[in-house]
């Protein structure tokens, strides 16, 4: 770490409500020698609305130019300048530009700090009502169906709450596929237009979410982790057999029990057949 070096501040900005811009964020922007903004027009709009007067130079820093511009920003910091990185909304780096410049700064020994604040994923998580002691942030849902299905299949055994970003346009399709992979009972929360006038938090299940049509706006989707297993597949062999004896199709009984108890359908079926053979 260099003595008296400047600093790169990763600064979070509002995701819909300008009042969420912190007093410290305002001060950092005004005192910065250099502001690297994802979209300079949006940055100046925010400054105008919030009467912020940056005294330093403002440059654009978006995904396509990260590699090219990161070096210059880090050089400025190493010269002793205060640089601020801001994205269009929320926390830079989180599905927003920033990863490259943070790493370059760290590699070259420049100081990096944060001015924390809004992040849609965290807002959605805490409003979902699902467990938040451990969680996975998954970013945007994949656009290709094969990749998407793979992501959803992984959630079958994921015990932690997962958070996704998704466009309103693709939400219906994603929820339909998610239901096919995880079943209708998995609980989800759709957090729409967070912190804005028309904020909407829908806590529902994948089965019920089918009926949602024509959602618009910005969306973060929270998926509850796999329900705790109530036992092992072997604990339910007797129940499956009894239901089959009463006339229910064995396959249907096994499927229903497995879903209810969050145990493996395949394993329960195998154990019932194994017992019959004995």
Residues that bind ligand SAM (CB under 6 A): 15-16, 87, 89-91, 94-96, 119-121, 165, 191, 193-196, 218-220
Least Å from the CB of residue 100 to ligand SAM: 15
Q: Which is nearer to ligand SAM, 105 or 121 (CB)?
A: 121
Whole-number minimum distance, CB 241 to ligand SAM, in Å?
47
What is the C-alpha separation between 15 and 5, in angstroms, rounded?
A: 31
User: Tokens 């973060």 belong to which residue?
Assistant: 220
Question: What's the rounded Cα separation, in Å, for the pair 137 and 163?
Answer: 5
Sorted by sequence, the CB contacts under 8 Å of residue 195 that are 6+ apart come out as 14, 15, 16, 17, 20, 118, 123
Q: Retrieve residue 182's tokens.
A: 């995880």
Strand intervals (E) in the chain = 7-11, 34-37, 57-60, 82-86, 111-115, 135-140, 161-167, 187-192, 200-205, 218-223
Minimum distance, C-beta of residue 170 to ligand SAM, in the bound complex (Å): 11
Owner of token pair 């100081």: 111
Rounded least distance, CB 89 to ligand SAM, Å: 5
- Tokens encoding 22: 């912190």
Q: Which is nearer to ligand SAM, 87 or 128 (CB)?
A: 87
Residue with Cβ nearer ligand SAM (191 or 240): 191
Q: What is the spatial distance between Cα 15 and Cα 228, in angstroms, rounded to a whole number?
A: 34
Nearer to ligand SAM, 33 or 218 (CB): 218
Q: Where are the beta strands (DSSP E) in 69-225?
A: 82-86, 111-115, 135-140, 161-167, 187-192, 200-205, 218-223
Least distance (Å) between residue 271 CB and ligand SAM: 43
Of residues 15 and 178, the one with the C-beta less far from ligand SAM: 15
Question: Cβ(129)–Cβ(135) under 8 Å?
Answer: no
Shortest CB 237 distance to ligand SAM, Å: 44
> In the bound complex, which residue of the shown chain has the CB atom lying closest to ligand SAM?
90
| 11 versus 263: smaller Cβ distance to ligand SAM | 11
Using left for φ > 0, alpha for ψ between -120 and 50, and beta otherwise, residue 139 falls in: left
Nearest approach, Cβ of residue 178 and ligand SAM (Å): 16
Toward ligand SAM, which CB reaches closer, 49 or 275? 49
CA distance 207 to 214: 17
């Amino acid at each position: 770490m260099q003595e008296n070096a400047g600093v790169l501040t990763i600064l979070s900005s509002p995701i819909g409500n300008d009042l969420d811009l912190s007093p410290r964020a305002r001060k950092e922007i005004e005192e910065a020698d250099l502001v690297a903004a994802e979209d300079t027009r949006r940055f100046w709009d925010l400054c105008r609305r919030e009467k912020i007067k940056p005294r330093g130079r403002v440059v654009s820093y978006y995904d396509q130019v990260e590699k090219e511009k990161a070096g210059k920003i880090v050089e400025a910091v190493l010269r002793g300048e205060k640089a601020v990185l801001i994205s269009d909304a929320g926390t830079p780096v989180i599905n927003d530009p920033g990863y490259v410049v943070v790493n370059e700064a760290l590699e070259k020994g420049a100081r990096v700090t944060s001015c924390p604040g809004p992040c849609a994923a965290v807002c959605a998580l805490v409003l979902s009502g699902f467990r938040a002691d451990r969680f996975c942030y998954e970013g945007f849902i994949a656009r290709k169906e094969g990749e998407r299905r793979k992501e959803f299949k992984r959630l079958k055994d994921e015990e932690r709450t997962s958070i996704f970003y998704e466009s309103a346009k693709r939400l219906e399709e994603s929820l339909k596929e998610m239901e096919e992979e995880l079943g209708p009972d998995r609980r989800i929360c759709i957090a729409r237009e967070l912190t804005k006038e028309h904020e909407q938090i829908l806590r529902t299940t994948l089965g019920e979410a089918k009926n949602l049509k024509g959602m618009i706006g910005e969306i973060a989707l929270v998926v509850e982790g796999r329900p705790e297993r109530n036992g092992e597949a072997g604990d339910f062999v007797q129940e499956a057999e009894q239901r089959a004896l009463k006339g229910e199709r064995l396959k249907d009984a096994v499927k229903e029990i497995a879903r209810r108890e969050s145990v493996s359908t395949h394993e329960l079926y195998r154990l019932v057949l194994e017992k019959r053979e004995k």
